[in-house]
């Protein structure tokens, strides 16, 4: 149904109050989707066409990479998650429910347990490996703060894939095959993206890459080397550190100074006139219920993900004021490493640091002349800070650039994290029983569509990449009641459709201005306008959505010219 008068394309003039980011605004305004509840949307016909195009590209590339499509249920019995341990660990984003017989179930946010259970029952021999199974499915994650439309929704469509291999080496090949497939998928979607090293979070495993679409509205911060191809989520990014400075010839003396009411780094910097880089910032965290102290330079921030991994903890968060006082004996703002009875970890920047300023664990006082090794000898050193722009790359030492990104896909090398506890084993060629080596691979299908808009838009609306556009061409009449105009439009519509080109035909009896505005909002890559005046000269007006001006092309050749352009753009 691609005549506007028979289609459901409810465009809006106003910006809906709920929407802030550009993809959210335009998806609503262009009639691609509607909100049903916070973070929960219905896709209207044009929006759904876009989603299916993303799905189809993913399916083609997954199949090409040798993966097999399946469908696992959304409703998953709790027993499987109890086996893996995730039932106990997963937070309130997990939708849990009891069925009418009071059995525990969940709506699967990912399907490692279900697929492992399937494979362990039916795959017994190395001859059946490798295997990569994927599905495309609506998922539900009960986000605390759903926002930004499809960028962080509660119900969303995801492609999830799971690979099973007989050895670590084979599993790395499977991982690389998925990495390559993802690269092809996001290229075909017309996205500008970076693959970056990433943390493994709720899923686990030992190696992971995120595929980040570069966009200002992105929630993720990534750094990438200005020289080599290292790139990582700041949560994950390693930093090359210079060798610690040699001890000074004349060490500064430790002194306690009165700093009444000077609680923050900024206050102390201003009050004592020292640079923030000479302060030792002392932060108390609670890791799985126990306090731990983290130290970083005053001008740097603690990376909680690195800290969590270092501690082997499940959850790490800043301590409450009361817990800070309990751990340090002082009010918040005066914590320091000296004399603490709590495990303390200092970032590598602090190795060899002397003549520093830090708290005393005593109200209204700070130390000056602080020497990390002399004055806090029990501190451990590790990489626990967030990377910043200009930090040296861990591979080549060149400075980092920093970007905002939208994570549209992530690949995980799981190893035997699920196969071992769940007994997903196979008989090797040597007759030995071994756990399979796994990987898992996700793509946020609906998020891909939104991130394409974040990268491709202007003040008038969306500018779809050809591969994701709901239609290739928007055909419109400038005079919907002129017989010649309508006849020409119908002829070209028929020719394009016969050539396999997808056409949205705006056949409404509306003013040209209204039709042009809607066409810009919808963002279909090519617009073909049929008007009385140019048609009298045998011409019609073709305007690519990205171009400033329309060009006149011969009405008789219009379908051929357009079909060739569409095919060229789809071929990349």
The two beta strands, 526-530 and 503-506, are: unpaired
Site for a copy of itself contains 16 (CB under 8 A): no
Site for a copy of itself contains 507 (CB under 8 A): no
Subset of 151-170 contacting a copy of itself (CB under 8 A): 154-155
Q: Is 568 exposed, middle or buried (0-12, 13-18, 19+ CB in 10 A)?
A: exposed
Q: Which two tokens stand for residue 422?
A: 């769940």
Nearer to a copy of itself, 98 or 533 (CB): 98
Site for a copy of itself contains 514 (CB under 8 A): no
Which residues lie closer than 8 Å to 237 by C-beta, 6 or more apart? 197, 222, 223, 386, 387, 391, 394, 400
Closest CA to 197 of 188, 184, 206, 207: 207
Q: Which two tokens stand for residue 302?
A: 């603690």
Site for a copy of itself contains 66 (CB under 8 A): yes
The two beta strands, 255-258 and 365-370, are: antiparallel
Q: What is the nearest approach in angstroms of a copy of itself to the Cβ of residue 472?
A: 17
Q: What is the nearest approach in angstroms of a copy of itself to the Cβ of residue 523?
A: 19
Interacting span for a copy of itself (CB under 8 A) from 63-71, 297-305, 377-385, 400-408: 63-71
Number of residues that bind a copy of itself (CB under 8 A): 56
Q: Which two tokens stand for residue 373?
A: 């090794």
Q: What is the nearest approach in angstroms of a copy of itself to the Cβ of residue 436?
A: 13
Subset of 91-150 contacting a copy of itself (CB under 8 A): 92-93, 95, 97, 99-100, 103, 105, 114, 117-118, 121-123, 127-128, 131, 133, 137-138, 140, 142, 144
Nearer to a copy of itself, 127 or 240 (CB): 127
Report the C-alpha gap between 268 and 54 in whole angstroms: 53
Report the sign of the C-alpha dihedral through residues 468, 472, 478, 479, in that order. negative
Q: What is the nearest approach in angstroms of a copy of itself to the Cβ of residue 493?
A: 17
Which residues lie closer than 8 Å to 94 by C-beta, 6 or more apart? 106, 107, 109, 141, 142
Nearer to a copy of itself, 78 or 499 (CB): 78
Among 25, 27, 30, 44, indicate the residue that binds a copy of itself (CB under 8 A): 44
Report the C-alpha gap between 288 and 285 in whole angstroms: 10
Report the C-alpha gap between 123 and 116 in whole angstroms: 10
Site for a copy of itself contains 487 (CB under 8 A): no
The two beta strands, 461-462 and 433-435, are: unpaired
Q: Which two tokens stand for residue 455?
A: 């990268």
Closest CA to 564 of 496, 489, 482, 480: 496
Q: What is the nearest approach in angstroms of a copy of itself to the Cβ of residue 429?
A: 15
Q: Give the chain's largest Cα–Cα span.
A: 95
Nearer to a copy of itself, 268 or 445 (CB): 445
Site for a copy of itself contains 26 (CB under 8 A): no
Q: What is the nearest approach in angstroms of a copy of itself to the Cβ of residue 59?
A: 10
Q: What is the nearest approach in angstroms of a copy of itself to the Cβ of residue 96?
A: 8
Calculate helix-pair angle for 45-64, 445-455, nearest 10 degrees: 110
Interacting span for a copy of itself (CB under 8 A) from 6-14, 327-335, 400-408, 422-430: 6-14
Q: What is the nearest approach in angstroms of a copy of itself to the Cβ of residue 144?
A: 7
Site for a copy of itself contains 480 (CB under 8 A): no
Residues that bind a copy of itself (CB under 8 A): 1, 5-8, 10, 31, 34, 36-37, 40-45, 48, 51, 63, 66-77, 92-93, 95, 97, 99-100, 103, 105, 114, 117-118, 121-123, 127-128, 131, 133, 137-138, 140, 142, 144, 154-155
């Amino acid at each position: 149904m691609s005549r506007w008068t028979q289609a459901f394309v409810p465009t809006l003039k106003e910006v809906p109050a709920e929407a802030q980011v550009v993809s959210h605004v335009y998806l609503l305004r262009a009639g691609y989707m509607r909100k049903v509840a916070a973070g929960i949307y219905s896709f209207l016909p044009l929006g759904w066409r876009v989603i299916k195009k993303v799905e189809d590209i993913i399916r083609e590339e997954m199949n090409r990479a040798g993966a097999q499509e399946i469908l696992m249920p959304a409703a998953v019995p709790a027993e499987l998650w109890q086996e893996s341990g995730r039932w106990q660990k997963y937070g309130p984003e997990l939708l849990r429910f009891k069925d009418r017989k009071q059995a525990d179930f969940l709506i699967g946010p990912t399907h490692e347990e279900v697929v492992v259970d399937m494979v362990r029952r039916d795959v017994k021999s190395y001859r059946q490996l490798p295997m990569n199974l994927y599905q495309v499915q609506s998922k539900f994650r009960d986000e605390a703060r759903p926002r930004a439309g499809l960028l962080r929704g509660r119900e969303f469509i995801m492609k999830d894939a799971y690979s099973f291999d007989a050895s670590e080496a084979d599993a790395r090949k499977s991982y690389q095959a998925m990495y390559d497939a993802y690269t092809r998928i996001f290229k075909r979607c017309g996205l500008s993206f970076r693959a970056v090293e990433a943390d493994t979070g709720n899923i686990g495993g030992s190696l992971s890459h995120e595929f980040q679409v570069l966009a200002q509205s992105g929630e993720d911060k990534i750094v990438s080397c200005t020289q080599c191809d290292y790139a990582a989520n700041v949560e994950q990014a390693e930093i090359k550190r210079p060798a610690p400075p040699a001890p000074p010839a004349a060490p500064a003396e430790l002194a306690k100074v009165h700093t009444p009411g000077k609680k923050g780094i900024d206050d102390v910097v201003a009050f004592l006139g020292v640079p923030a880089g000479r302060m030792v910032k002392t932060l108390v965290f609670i890791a799985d219920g126990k306090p731990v102290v983290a130290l970083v330079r005053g001008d740097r921030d603690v990376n909680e993900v690195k800290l969590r991994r270092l501690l082997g903890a499940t959850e790490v968060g800043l301590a409450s004021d009361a817990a800070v006082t309990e751990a340090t004996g002082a009010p918040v703002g005066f914590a320091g490493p000296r004399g603490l009875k709590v495990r303390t970890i200092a970032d590598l920047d602090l190795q060899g640091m002397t003549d520093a300023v830090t708290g005393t664990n005593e109200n209204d006082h700070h130390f000056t002349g602080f020497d990390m090794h002399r004055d806090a000898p029990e501190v451990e050193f590790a990489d626990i800070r967030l990377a910043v722009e200009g930090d040296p790359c861990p591979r080549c030492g060149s400075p980092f650039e920093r970007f905002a990104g939208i994570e549209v896909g992530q690949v995980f090398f799981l190893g035997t994290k699920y196969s071992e506890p769940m007994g997903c084993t196979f008989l090797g060629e040597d007759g030995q029983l071994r756990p399979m080596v796994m990987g898992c691979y996700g793509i946020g299908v609906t998020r891909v569509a939104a991130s394409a808009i974040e990268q491709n838009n202007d003040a008038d609306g969306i500018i779809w990449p050809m591969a994701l556009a709901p239609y290739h061409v928007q055909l419109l009449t400038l005079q919907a009641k002129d017989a010649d105009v309508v006849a020409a439009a119908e002829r070209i519509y028929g020719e394009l459709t016969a050539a396999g080109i997808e056409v949205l035909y705006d056949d409404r009896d509306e003013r040209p201005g209204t039709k042009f505005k809607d066409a810009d909002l919808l963002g279909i890559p090519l617009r073909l306008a049929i008007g009385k005046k140019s048609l009298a000269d045998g011409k019609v007006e073709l305007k690519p959505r990205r171009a400033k001006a329309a060009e006149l092309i011969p009405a008789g050749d219009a379908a051929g010219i357009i079909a060739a352009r569409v095919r060229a753009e789809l071929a990349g």
